[in-house]
Amino acid sequence: MLLCIEHLNKSFCGNPILSDIAFSVDAGDCVAILGPSGVGKTTLLRCLNFLERAESGSYTLDGTTYDLHHISTGEIAGIRRKTGFVFQEFNLFLNKTVLQNVTEGLTVVRRMPKAEAEETAMRALARVGMEDKKDAWPVSLSGGQKQRAAIARALALSPEILYFDEPTSALDPALTGEVLSVMRNLAGEGMTMLVVTHELAFAREVSNRVLFMDDGRIAEDADSAVFFSQPKTDKAKGFLQRLQKKGENET
Amino acid sequence: MTERLWGILVDSFPKILIPGLTLTIPLTAVSFALALVIALAVAMIQFANVRILKEICRFYIWIIRGTPLLVQLYVVFFGLPGVGIMIDPIPCAILVFAVNEGAYSAETIRAALEAVPRGQIEAGYCVGMNYLQIMRRIVIPQAFRTAFPPLSNSLIAMVKDTSLAANITVAEMLMSTQRIVARTYEPLALYLEVGLIYLLFCTVLTRLQHVGEKKLSTYLTDQT
Ligand SMILES: Nc1ncnc2c1ncn2[C@@H]1O[C@H](COP(=O)(O)OP(=O)(O)O)[C@@H](O)[C@H]1O
Ligand SMILES: [Mg+2]
């Protein structure tokens, strides 16, 4: 078991958003987090990387357990060292080229010499098919290219687990494919991934597990095949039907 | 134009220009550099929401923006000696100009810092950077690009505002001109002449602004 979350609670201004969340992820898992908008999927991922502070809960990574609320800056830095985050809105550093975006964490945080950092960065860019764009400024990229660069930025730090928050939701439908195929390859290479997504095909074909969230709780935690063929809760059934119908209308 | 007037203008040109080069320009440069340091500190304190210190910064900005620059010069130069604090004219001018401009530029820089999309700060945390690293490497460079045109405005305004230092006995360009006027009784021609020299200085700065903006904007252009 690589990651284990227990009793995670989070509220905003007194409104409970996440209640008693618990799940675990094994090394090599690709876990899809599904659920309607506003149920707290983004908040959950953000709590896991301390972009939001949970009220309570425990967080075990690699055999070390931390308190999600009472945790020191140093411990947070240590956890972030082992995890990568891919945002819906890419969040590339606009004043850095694609290559500099990827080397930034290596040179500034890991204190890697520049030449070595660039080599590492180029390997990461190769994995997402962005080597030829290494000197481009982020503003000149398409959405799909931006997201692939952002994935390379996270990959270069060789994280033990990668969090994705709706990585294709801000993209033109025509550009989601290139990002999904990069993610599919990563999963195939054994990268541990936790992916919030509305892409049912990705969840069904690539992820081996599904967490279905509803109303701030994990309503179902099942193997992908089981979840898609026999969803247990009515909420999940309704959710799948709605998304499938939407998918059919689009194609 | 009479020969006499032409003679006066030619004769006075270096007499006005030299204090411009030795006083107006250095006074502006030093005051503005100090102002930027103050402004960046004040802006960052507010941006980072450091309690108490933030209140002090708001108070500073409130006082400085709410009172005339000339009054501030008088208070420091003519007023403070009354409580035993004597400052020479030039350091006094630098101090007042820097503190005054610092308050205005602080607001410019704060707005520019806030204009940098927050997501990049979060992305910085996620690759392991700490707050100061993110500010120094990601946020401040982008904020500087945004703040550059309004800061250039302030710099150009300050070149002209240094003429107020004439009121506290600094013999900069305007005071030098006034002295020549007192001798020659040619106010129109001479004040036009000094105006022209100010215009010259500001034209150079405007050019520099354009060059600077272009350099700073490379990352915003659509080229690779
Ligand atoms: N910073 C915040 N302050 C207050 N409420 C928030 C904040 N962020 C999210 N929320 C609320 O938390 C709930 C869950 O949001 P989110 O995690 O973004 O859901 P999802 O990603 O599943 O769509 C929503 O009701 C949202 O309005
Ligand atoms: Mg979300």
Q: What is the pLDDT of residue B167?
A: 94
Tell me whether residues A137 and B220 touch, CB distance under 8 A: yes
- Residue A111: count other Cβ atoms within 10 Å of its Cβ: 8
Q: What is the pTM of this model?
A: 0.91
Q: Is A142 exposed, middle or buried (0-12, 13-18, 19+ CB in 10 A)?
A: middle
Banded pLDDT at A31 (limits 50, 70, 90): very high
Q: Which CATH number fits domain A1-82+159-169+187-251: 3.40.50.620, 3.40.50.300, 3.40.50.720, 1.10.10.10?
A: 3.40.50.300
Whether residue A243 is predicted with pLDDT greater than 90 in this model: the reply is no
Ligand 1 atom nearest residue A166's Cα: 21
Tell me whether residues A87 and B123 touch, CB distance under 8 A: yes
Whether B218 contacts chain A with CB within 8 A: yes
Note whether B160 and B202 are within 8 A (CB): yes
Question: Is the ipTM here above 0.85?
Answer: yes
Token digits for B148? 């550059």
Residue with the two structure tokens 């020479």: B88
Pocket of ligand 1 (CB under 6 A): A 12, 17, 35, 37-43
3-state secondary structure B52-75: CHHHHHHHHHHHHHCCCHHHHHHH
Q: What is the CATH number of the domain that holds B67?
A: 1.10.3720.10
Q: What is the pLDDT along chain B (224 residues), one digit of tens a residue?
A: 689 999 999 999 999 999 999 999 999 999 999 999 999 999 999 999 999 999 999 999 999 999 999 999 999 999 999 999 999 999 999 999 999 999 999 999 999 999 999 999 999 999 999 999 999 999 999 999 999 999 999 999 999 999 999 999 999 999 999 999 999 999 999 999 999 999 999 999 999 999 999 999 989 876 54
* Residue ranges of E strands in chain A: 3-12, 15-25, 30-34, 56-61, 64-67, 83-86, 161-165, 193-196, 209-214, 217-223
Note whether A184 and A202 are within 8 A (CB): yes
Host domain of residue B39? 2-223
Could you give the number of structural domains in chain B?
1
* Annotated domain spans of chain A: 1-82+159-169+187-251, 88-157
**Beta carbon pairs, A and B, within 8 Å:** 87
| Burial readout B36-72 (b: 16 or more C-beta within 10 A, e: otherwise) | bebbbebbbbbbeeeeeeeeebeebbeebeeeeeeeb
CA distance B195 to chain A (A): 40
Tell me whether residues B224 and A154 touch, CB distance under 8 A: no
